[in-house]
Amino acid sequence: MNPSKRPSESFIQEDEAGMHKRQKRECQDFTPRRYQLDLYEVATRQNTIAMLDTGAGKTMIAVMLIEHFGMISKTNNDRKLIIFLAPTVQLVTQQCEVIKRYTDFEVEHYHGAKGVDQWNAYSWQEQLAKYQVVVMTPQVLLDALRQAFLILDMVSLLIFDECHHAAGNHPYTRIMKEFYHRSEHKPNVFGMIASPVIRKGVSSDLDCENQLSELENILDSKIHTVVDREEIELCVPSAKEVNRYYEPRTVSFEDLSAELGILYSKYDGLIAQLHSTLTNQYKDADQITKESRRRLSNSLAKICYCLEDVGLLCASEATKICIERGHRKGWLKGGGDATDQQSDAYGSGLFGENSMIHMKFFEEVLRIIDKRLQQQQGMDAILNSESGCVEAAKGGYISPKLHELIQVFLSFRLLPESLSAL
């Protein structure tokens, strides 16, 4: 072909079609590993959460299940959908391409940026008539279910990527609680998770076990993993563990923690006082107050954890993040979004009053911590010096633990190759 001439549109289309066929041929050569087949067979019989290492091929198990349940629907001529949920737009796009490559089904993906928020019942009906598999963010599905644009009776398989998000008020949780558990004809469920530690605050094996049990209840599924890890170790490179030790802390913040504890008691009392004043005006006053006091207690615990575990500077930054989050959610105006309220409309005013108390608490905490920072001698000079990290650790600005972690990061500069870290 003459390089000075632009290829015709038909040539480009033929080239793209040829590339697509080559990819399909390559995909037909995919041979599942033994552990993938074992998990697949379990998932064809019962709702399953596959717990496998990152890179072990969870998505390919999902693809095999899509083929299985898709062929059943095709044989029965029932036109049931397969819905694949992923928590981010990037994952939605990525997983859609994988499914297109490895199956012969018609596949499409949806997220907010594609304008689905503006669709009506006819738009959804038109779209769903074209495709057997749809990949979307969970909020898109939740909104469509709430508006009755589709129902779970239409679905044969519901896949949850990164299903550890199914906690609290996440759309994964809302889909299951508001629709799946109330549905007469429930779809099959397949969840994928890499880590057994789901959320922050897991401090023991019992905590981890409780959270996994909660995940199983929400997704109406059983967690399955691989007992014999020999094949996985061959397929998935494992990280080499290195222990790094750090010096004990030489600076105590017991007095500062005690001062913050007194401040907490003051604001906890204000929440209780607000409850006694407004309890008769709001339907969910008891629940809102209980949740508000719990959040205040958790906030203090997190700030004190930062103080003791990573140092004074990090405690200050953590408090600033809490304040910025409050500004974004409109807490100073007595507002807040429905996700944080966890109550009906009758409690929104009380929630707003509680949110303002939280903001004032954070602002006073920041004043106390920053006052201590200002009392430390020569902070700016220390942080800008070559030995800044060492001196900062000695002064309590950062903890010895954080100092050691910084040294690990700095050592990566000496590596000749590029590094990816998680």
Choose between 396 and 182: higher pLDDT: 182
* CA 100/CA 220 separation, integer angstroms: 28
Beta carbons within 8 Å of 340's beta carbon, 6+ residues apart: 329, 351, 355
Query: CB of 94 within 8 A of CB of 161?
Result: no
Place 335 in a pLDDT band, splitting at 50, 70 and 90. very low
| pTM, 2 dp | 0.60
pLDDT tens-digit series, residues 204-229: 566 677 888 999 999 999 999 887 77
Q: What percent of the chain has pLDDT over 70?
A: 78
10 Å CB burial of residue 90 (0-12, 13-18, 19+) is exposed
- Give the pLDDT of residue 242: 85
Place 40 in a pLDDT band, splitting at 50, 70 and 90. very high
pLDDT tens-digit series, residues 277-298: 776 666 677 888 888 999 999 9
* CA 191/CA 43 separation, integer angstroms: 10
Residue 15 has pLDDT above 60, yes or no: no
- Give the pLDDT of residue 96: 97
Would you state the CATH architecture of domain 9-235? 3-Layer(aba) Sandwich (3.40)
When pLDDT is averaged across residues 228-234 and rounded to a whole number, the result is 73
Measured CA to CA in angstroms, residue 235 lies from 55, 238, 272 at distances of 8, 9, 56
- Give the pLDDT of residue 193: 94
When pLDDT is averaged across residues 35-47 and rounded to a whole number, the result is 96
Measured CA to CA in angstroms, residue 247 lies from 57, 303, 319, 326 at distances of 41, 22, 26, 36
* DSSP code at position 376: S
When pLDDT is averaged across residues 362-366 and rounded to a whole number, the result is 96
Domain definitions of the chain by residue range: 9-235, 254-414
The radius of gyration computed from the CA coordinates of the chain, to the nearest angstrom, equals 27
Residue 2 has pLDDT above 50, yes or no: no
pLDDT tens-digit series, residues 145-183: 999 999 999 999 999 999 999 988 899 999 999 999 999
Place 12 in a pLDDT band, splitting at 50, 70 and 90. very low
Query: CB of 362 within 8 A of CB of 295?
Result: no
What tokens were used for 122?
A: 């006819």
